Structures are given as structure tokens and as C-alpha cells.
Chain A
């Protein structure tokens, strides 16, 4: 238990302390994070623990807030409530055994993490991938990106107090999950990429389903726009809120829609082209407003661009194997050396760095989560905004806490 002096930096004792002193301790009860945070606070401020159980901290993020009325003086995210030490697990499991973990780092865009890990291993071990598998990876990964954006869209509106859009988004997302289930066998935590290919080949039903889904979603997007994007209440809530200037993006190493909403046309699919992305005609949506609305618009535009990629890929899907005939057995040994592989996830640049000493299991695996860097700028971004804006900013960063905590 901390003494009353630790609470107030100006030396006064806790005003809530009763004559017998019993109350004071309860008032300060809190862990080291709260106590340290309170030390820097002004005496008239209110310290609010938002989370770890809070409706709009998506999972178990905790944010310490120093409030002046409803204005945020200072904010500090406290992480670790969903930490599972994936990097340690990677060191004690063979690459094939570690694959299921990748579906659980970021459960909303699991296939991008699949790809980052598979890509790093393939690069290190020089494993070849058949062309058909590359196309199938692109198609499933983009479908997964759309499902992630749809869920973000619904959840963001939920944060802003609109309950209905998430149900419409789930209606469409359900079809996506049916399609992805055909390819991966599961509906959320996919682990379907394999070293040297993909787990299953595309069935005619899958190809047919994707062909039907593209026009369906395109026909739904105008409804989304009319119901939500153009809604004046929403626009007033998120326009010019949470401004992230370009230099802040660089200083924090943010990426994905956060960077693109600030006018930086950075997309790993273009910057470090991997797989067959260079064969498709698509745009990188960029907005220059730097606010939450810009990030919102970037994601909505990305849904359309992903549809474009899928459309081209499904039409030009080559015949052939879905696994390379020389693909390694699950118990293969990684050669010694290092490799870094980055892919563009729904939240930004996902990176996997593998260092191997030639043993059965990797020597070190580093997972670079985009949300980690994106969330880091929240404290600076939220300063001086309203409590309701903090919710709007957190949502616009599209956090997936398991990915940030790993």
C-alpha cells in the first residue's frame, strides 16, 4: 500500500482521508501504474482508469487518463493484459507447430500474420511457392482484410453510439466467413498457409462464391455510405478529431491506414512488393485530412480496392498445384541465418524477423505488430481532447489488443 504522499505531488495529503485514516488507503488503492501516474497529476485533476474492462477499449486495453472536467490532460495506455509471449513460444516450437499461433496474434486479420510468418520462413529456407498458391493467398488475405475492415467499421460505430451498423456489417461478413471457411476450415483464427503453398485448393464452390460476393458487397457499400459516412452526427464526431500530423507518424513508426490517413502513401504491398501483388491494378487510398475521418475514409476505400484485387485474381487464377511438390515436411530444419518479411495487414505493416542457428526450432522470432506503434501515438494525439474524442481516436486507430500485447 502506498502512503498518502505518493498521491499528491504538491505535498498535500489525500483530501479524502478520514480522521481515522482508513479511507485514505482505499482511495489510493491501485497498482504502480496508477500511483506513478497520479504523482504527475495536478491536484484538481480527476484520474480515471479507462479499462481494462471498458466497452470501448476493445478487449483489455487500459488507459490511464488525467481529466480536467471532460478534457484529457494526459493519457497513458497500460498494456499487457492479453500478453501471451508468442515470441517465446516461437522459440520452443518448430515452424510448423508455431503456425496456429499466427492465427491468434491478430484474430481479425489472421491470414496476414500467417503470411508474414510463412513468408519469413520461406525466404530463409528458400522454399518455392506455386503460382496458384500465391493467387489463393492473395484472394484469401484480401477477403480477410475486408472482413477485418467490416468488423472495425461496425465496432467503431458502436463506440460512437450507433448500434445498428455492426449488425449490417456482420451480415456481410458472415458471407465472407463462409467463403473463408471453404478455404481454411475455420471462421476466425485461420491458419491455412503452409510453407510452400496453402492448406487446401480452391474448390469451384469457392470460386463461384467469391464471384458472387464481389457484386454483392459493392451493392451494399452505397448503403453504408448513406447510413453512416454521410450522417452529420458521425461526421461532426470524427472530422478534425484526433489529428495525426505526418511527423508524428514518422516519430512513432505508425503504418497502415493511420499513415495513409495522414497523407503518406505507404503500403507494404507497394513499398516492398511481395507475392504477386505487382500483377494487379489497384490504388493505395490516401487522405490528407490527418483526422479520424481520414482514417475512416481510407479503410472504406480499401474495402473497394481489395474487391478490385480479388476480382482480378479470381479471374486470372492459374491452374496448377496448391502445394509445391518440393514443399518441406513439417519437421524440416531451418537453415542458419536471418530473414525479415513484411506484409500489409489491415492495421499496417506486419513484420516477422527470424534468426535461426540451424536447429529444429528458430533461435529468435520477433513479431512486429502494427497496432503496437499505432497505439503508441495515442497519448500524444489524445492530449487536450474530450473524453468522447478519446473513444473516437482509439477506435480510429483500429486496435486489436491481442496483436499489440502478443
Chain B
């Protein structure tokens, strides 16, 4: 790491963290609204409609409700673990936003090991889910936590392999540099050279963020609500926000790695980045409202028997081509 620790850089990081927190909070509201509208339109319903014009204040009302609710802990739950879990789920996610280059100027912390930082801190999420399921002393929670651990650990590997393929190709772990290696036109993006890596990354990202059709840790028709069965109020709200924040991170990284980041055919800037991220987020929602849920053994089979070998092959092929 070449970032020298100075007052300026610390201030920069702190400011960035505050900015990220605001960004995540606002995005949480926006995405909840978008998710419900997408679900509504796909199902030929209006979706949220009553609170504010076209229901745009629905998410705000929900957030206020969650904040206003009493914090309830089951009698036999472990208080420390029970309350640590939502905090641990939410705050590390903020760190993940730091190295993401929204635009050349709008980067929280331009560190040359940005990819590594994201992958490392993303591992916190699984710990939070495990603590939530274990600490709430609920059998459904426990089953959900067990699923979450097995799933997250498994899907991290192909995710890493896909990322490595890009890192090999670009020869750097800095996100800014990776974007710099791509052009503005769609055919200059990494997705053209690495379509398989993109597919593996995106599927693994669905698995990592517990999104349908891989939402097994919470699978409400099997485990009622899985790891967060016992959470209500802001306890639940934190998990909820963390899920959306994780989605944004996954889509952002995907944009940086494969879709040219902030670069576009004209007028490069953060708007291109955001447009691409929201496009990916919308497709995640689209998947959720289209597909049934896979079974747990199928989920793991998909990973170990398809994504992992394909990821390895892709990485070897990339290495081979790069060597040439």
C-alpha cells in the first residue's frame, strides 16, 4: 500500500465514509421502492401507490416505521451476539464502498489493492449472518445461518476466480487502473473479452448477496425468514439495508471490472457508472421476480460442479493468453 498516513488522507477517508453512509441510506430507500415497483409491474399491479405521488414516499414511511419500532430480543437469545450481528452486517459494507471509483475524482480511497480490500471485507457478511442465526436461539435461524455459511464460503471462490482473471489481464488490483484499461465504447469493455468471467461473477454475486434464486438463507417458504426470523425493527432494518448495500457493491465491482466503469461513449463521468450499476441492479430484481428458488444441494452443486471448474479453466486460459 502506498497511501501515506497523513491528516489529509484520514480526513478524506472519514468524509468518504460519511458520504458513503448517506449514499447507502438513500439508495436503500430508492432500491426498496424500485424493487417493489418492479415486482408490481411484472405482476401487473401498481406496487406502492398510496404514500406520496405514485407511492414514492412508501420506502420512507417503511423506514420510519422500522426506526420507530421497539427493539425486541427473544428471551433465550444471547444479547451480545444478537445485537452484534446486525451491526456487523451493516457497517463493514460501508468500507467496501471506499475503493470504488465512481469517477476519477469521486473515489473514496484510491488504493492500489482495492479489489483485495473489497473481497476481504465482504467476508464479514457471512460472520454477521452466522451470529444472527446462532445468537437468536431459533431453529429456523440456525438452519438459515448454516445455509448462509456454506453458501457464502462456496460462492466466494468462483467470484475470486472471475476477479483474478481480470486482474491477470489488466495486471493490477487497483480498481481505477482496471477502468483505465478499458475504453468508452461497449466493445472496448472487458465483458467482450471475458464473457465467461462476467457470467461467473454475476451468478456468484447473486449467491454472495443471497438474492433470488439463491436466497436460501432466508427462504421464507422453507425457513420462515431464516437467519433474521427473530429480528424486527431496526435489527431487521440493518440486515435489509446491508442486503441492498451488498447488492450495490457487487454491481459496482461488476461495472468496474467488466463494463468500463465511469467510461461511456461520450461525456465520461459518474452518471455512466451509476447507470450501469442500476441496470445491473434492475436485472437482479428482474431475476428475483421471475424464478423459483433452487434447492440447497443444487445451489452447492452449481457452484462446485459448474462455476468452480469453469472459473479455473477461464483463469488458466487467461493466463495462457496473457503469457503469449
Question: Which of A33-41, A164-172, A204-212 participates in binding chain B?
Answer: A164-172
Contacts of B297 in A (CB 8 A): 386
* Complex Cα gap A233–B291 (Å): 7
Which of A155-163, A258-266, A346-354 lies at the binding interface?
A155-163
Chain B residues near A164 (CB-CB < 8 A): 39, 42-43, 289-290
B222 touches A237 (CB 8 A): no
Kindly provide the distance from the CB of B302 to the nearest chain A CB, expressed in whole angstroms: 10
Chain A residues within 8 Å of B292, by CB? 157, 160-162, 228, 231, 233-234, 237
- From A23, A70, A231, A391, B221 is in contact (CB under 8 Å) with A391
Query: Is B293 within 8 A of A236, CB to CB?
Result: no
Hey, which chain A residues are within 8 Å of B139, CB to CB?
Answer: 46, 48
B-side contacts of A48, CB under 8 Å: 139-140, 143
- Which residues of B sit under 8 angstroms from A162, Cβ to Cβ? 290-293
Docked-complex contact B221 and A160, CB < 8 angstroms: yes
A386 and B221 contacting across the interface, CB-CB below 8 Å: no
Q: Which of B43, B222, B224, B290 contacts A388 (CB 8 A)?
A: B222
Contact residues of A between 217 and 240, Cβ < 8 Å to B: 227-228, 231, 233-234, 236-237
Q: From known contacts A387-B222, A388-B222, infer whether A161 and B296 are also in contact, taking CB-CB under 8 Å.
A: no
Decide yes or no whether A55 CB sits under 8 A from chain B. yes
Q: Is B44 an interface residue (CB 8 A)?
A: yes
**B215: interface (CB < 8 Å):** yes
Interface string of B272-296 (1 = CB under 8 A from A): 0000000000000000111111111
Chain B residues with CB under 8 Å of A168's CB are 43-44
- The tally of CB-CB contacts under 8 A between chains A and B is 80
Q: How many residues of A contact B (CB 8 A)?
A: 31
Which residues of chain B come closer than 8 Å to A26, judged between CB atoms?
76
A-side interface mostly:
helix
Q: From the candidates A23, A70, A159, A237, name the one contacting B143 in the complex (CB within 8 A).
A: A70
**Chain A 159-209 interface residues, beta-carbon cutoff 8 Å to B:** 159-164, 167-168, 171
Known A160-B292, A233-B213, A236-B294; judge A388-B39 contact (CB<8 A).
no
Known contacts A161-B213, A161-B219: A70-B296 contact under CB 8 Å: yes
Complex Cα distance A95/B294, Å?
49
**Interface flag for A54 (CB, 8 Å):** yes
Interface assignment of A403: CB less than 8 Å from any CB of chain B: no
Nearest CB on B from A31, distance (A): 17
Q: Give the size of the chain B interface in residues (CB under 8 angstroms).
A: 30
- Residues on the B chain within 8 Å of A157, using CB: 292
Judge whether B289 and A163 touch: CB under 8 Å.
yes
Of B43, B44, B45, B212, which one neighbours A161 at CB under 8 angstroms?
Answer: B212
Is A302 part of the contact surface with B, judged by Cβ < 8 Å?
A: no
* B143 adjacent to A161 (CB under 8 Å): no
Question: Given A46-B139, A167-B45: A161 and B221 within 8 A (CB)?
Answer: yes
B220 in contact (CB, < 8 A): yes
Contacts of A228 in B (CB 8 A): 292
Instruction: Name the A residues within 8 Å of B223 (CB-CB).
Output: 387
- A389 at interface by CB-CB < 8 Å: yes
B6 within 8 A of A: no
**Is A56 part of the binding interface, using a Cβ–Cβ cutoff of 8 Å?**
yes
A44-57: contact bitstring with B at CB < 8 Å (1 yes, 0 no)?
A: 00101000001110
- With the chains together, A207 CA to B139 CA distance in Å? 54
* Residue B298, interface by CB 8 Å: yes
Interface core residue of A26, A158, A167, A227 (most chain B CB under 10 Å): A167
* A161 and B288 alpha carbons, distance in the complex (Å): 9
Which of the residues A23, A70, A233 comes within 8 Å of B294, measured between beta carbons? A233
Bound CA–CA A233/B213 (angstroms) = 9
Chain A: which residue is nearest B213 at the CB level?
A233
Which of A23, A46, A171, A388 sits near B296, CB closer than 8 Å?
A: A388
Inter-chain contacts of B220 with A (CB < 8 A): 55
A158–B289 CA distance with the chains assembled, in angstroms: 11
Residues on A with C-beta less than 8 A from B298 are: 236-237
Residue pair B296, A386 in contact (C-beta under 8 Å): yes
Chain A residues near B43 (CB-CB < 8 A): 163-164, 167-168
Among A26, A55, A161, A168, max chain B CB count under 10 A is at A161
286-324 of chain B: CB within 8 A of chain A: 288-298
Cβ-closest chain A residue relative to B289: A164
Find residues 4-52 in chain B having any chain A CB closer than 8 Å to their own CB: 39, 42-45
CA distance A161 to B215 in the complex (A): 9
B31 to chain A, nearest CB (A): 17
A49, closest chain B residue (CB): B139
**Nearest CB in chain B to that of A166: its residue:** B43
A388, B289: Cβ atoms closer than 8 Å: no
Q: Which residues of B contact A171 (CB under 8 A)?
A: 44
Q: Please report the C-alpha to C-alpha distance between residue A234 and residue B291 in the assembled complex, in whole angstroms.
A: 8
Q: List 25 A-B contacts (CB under 8 A).
A: A46-B139, A46-B142, A161-B212, A161-B221, A161-B291, A161-B293, A162-B290, A162-B291, A162-B293, A163-B43, A164-B43, A167-B43, A227-B290, A228-B292, A231-B291, A231-B292, A233-B291, A237-B293, A237-B295, A386-B297, A387-B143, A388-B295, A388-B296, A389-B295, A391-B221
Kindly list 15 other residue pairs between chains A and B, CB separation below 8 angstroms, not including A234-B292, A237-B292: A26-B76, A46-B139, A48-B139, A56-B222, A158-B221, A160-B293, A161-B221, A161-B292, A162-B291, A168-B44, A233-B213, A236-B295, A236-B298, A237-B293, A388-B222
- Enumerate the 3 nearest inter-chain pairs by beta-carbon distance, A residue then B residue, closest first: A161-B293, A167-B43, A162-B292
